[in-house]
Amino acid sequence: MGKKKSEKKGEKKDKKDKKQKKEKKQKKDKKNKKSKTEDDSLDESLSSSEEATPDSSVLASNQEKSSISSGTKHSNDENASDKKELTTKRYNKELLRLQIELVKLQEWVKKENLRVVVLFEGRDAAGKGGVIKRIMQRLNPRSARVVALGVPTEREKTQWYFQRYVPHLPAAGEMVLFDRSWYNRAGVERVMGFCTEDEYWEFMRSCPEFEAMLIRSGIILIKYWFSVSDEEQEKRFMARLEDRTKRWKLSPMDVEARSRWVEYSKAKDVMMKYTDTKLSPWYVVDADVKKKARLNCITHLLSLIPYEDLTPERIELPPRQENEGYIRPPFEEQTFVPEVY
């Protein structure tokens, strides 16, 4: 009886081994077949690419034209890495890293008593506010602030044009970010007719001198222009119409500007011609992809101001004071916020 059981057990084991061998063989054949197919397709791809390869001189000419039309100064390898997909996870990781560096920069500005002014200009819905928000997110608001002036008052309209901006310039150890600036005169005021021809050209003449004066006084002046395509701007306008929390961003002026795209383009070109100087250059940010624009702008800003890491050493907290007879007043005597949640 025991002998029969052992024979049956042996037969089952043999069948199991044969089955496993058969499965392994099938997997191996399948793998070889797949590898062969890939090799064949690779050969076909190489042969077709060789047939389609143009003359070397033509290729060089095309590459040169492509480089000139795109205006890029990077190599092909750098362009390929730039086009790498920016996932949300990678974006958040890079943003946090850059914000930590911004905190280091702010500490350095305070220690060295530097004065920093950063101007953010560009089309409506170009993403200026989004970049400013990410820059300010982890900074100390006591020494870094945003200036976003409204429509000038009747009194301010009679002042020297730059006068309303001067009080907002930084003192030692401060950083000021202008969400739109004195360049309103070169853009919206010019296109919408809010200034005279004489006032406009006087601005063009005096603006480079004004900025040179600021720089000579020791202020670090950085100017960014956020460039966005008309298709992307239209998409963002539509998104603002749909989102109630963003609808306030669409002012009547923005709606009017939408129908004057070409006029704004011409005004921007003239502005660049007169105010993009060696002493105070404009830095153009490609803002069609918001997340990339934010990271690129912050990275560039950090590269313009040399700084050192002044992160303080970890401190030991002292023990809390002992309760020596203190009696807290009854809760009933205090007015609490209702617990709705």
Q: How confident is the model at residue 71 (pLDDT cuts 50, 70, 90)?
A: very low
pLDDT at 308 over 70: yes
Q: What is the predicted pLDDT for the residue at 18? A: 62
Q: Is the per-residue pLDDT at 13 higher than 60?
A: no
Q: Of 53-57, 236-240, 264-268, which one has max mean pLDDT?
A: 264-268
Q: Identify the pLDDT of residue 72.
A: 43
CB-based burial label for 136 (10 Å; 0-12, 13-18, 19+): middle
Average pLDDT over the chain, rounded to an integer:
83
Q: According to the model, what pLDDT value does residue 10 have?
A: 54
Distance CA 25, CA 339 (A): 69
Is the predicted pLDDT of residue 243 greater than 50, yes or no? yes
Q: How far apart are CA 242 and CA 236, in angstroms?
A: 10
What is the model's pLDDT at position 15? 59
Say yes or no to pLDDT of 69 above 50: no
Is the pLDDT at 99 greater than 50? The verdict is yes
pLDDT band at 136 (very low <50, low <70, confident <90, very high): very high
Specify the higher pLDDT residue, 61 or 258. 258
Q: Compute the distance between CA of residue 125 and CA of residue 234 in angstroms, rounded to an integer.
A: 9
- Report which of residues 190 and 321 the model is more confident about: 190
Cα 316 to chain centroid, rounded: 37
Residue 326 pLDDT: 86
pLDDT band of residue 17 (cuts 50, 70, 90) is low
Amino acid, res. 117: V
Helix ranges (H only) for 217-305 are: 230-242, 252-258, 261-275, 290-304
Q: What is the pLDDT of residue 77?
A: 52
Q: What is the pLDDT of residues 158-174, one digit of tens each?
A: 999 999 999 999 999 99
Query: According to the model, what pLDDT value does residue 63 have?
Result: 40
pLDDT digits (tens, 9 = 90+) for 190-223: 999 999 999 999 999 999 999 999 999 999 999 9
What is the arithmetic mean of pLDDT over 234-255? 84
CB 181 within 8 A of CB 122: no
Q: Per-residue DSSP letters for 89-158?
A: HHHHHHHHHHHHHHHHHHHHHHHHT-EEEEEEEESTTSSHHHHHHHHHTTS-TTTEEEE---SPPHHHHT
Side chain identity at residue 52, one-letter code: A
Average pLDDT estimate for 146-157: 96
Average pLDDT of the residues in 288-316:
96
